[in-house]
Homo-oligomer: A and B are copies of this chain.
Amino acid sequence: MKLTTDELVHFNKNRVEVNFRKGETIIKQGTFAGHIVYIRSGLVKVFKEHGEDELILSLEGRGKMIGLQAIYSNNIYPYSVSAYEDVSVCLLDINTLKYIIGNNAKFAEQILNIIIEESIFSHNRMACLSLKQLHGRFADLLLCLSLRIYRRKIFKVPLSKKDMALITNMSQESMSRVIKEFNDDKITEIHGNRISILDFEKVKRLSVVG
Interface residues of A (CB under 8 A from B): 48, 50-51, 53, 55, 57, 68-69, 71-73, 78-79, 101-109, 111-113, 115-120, 122-127, 129-131, 169, 208
Contact = CB atoms under 8 A, between A and B. Distances in A.
B126 A71 contact: no
B117 A116 contact: no
A131 B69 contact: no
Contact of A73 (B78, B115, B116, B126): B116
A47 B102 CA distance: 32
Nearest to A126: B126
A123 B122 contact: yes
Given A73-B120, A101-B105, 20 more contacts: A48-B127, A51-B208, A53-B131, A57-B123, A57-B126, A69-B116, A72-B116, A72-B120, A73-B117, A78-B120, A102-B109, A105-B107, A108-B109, A115-B116, A115-B119, A118-B119, A122-B122, A126-B126, A129-B130, A130-B130
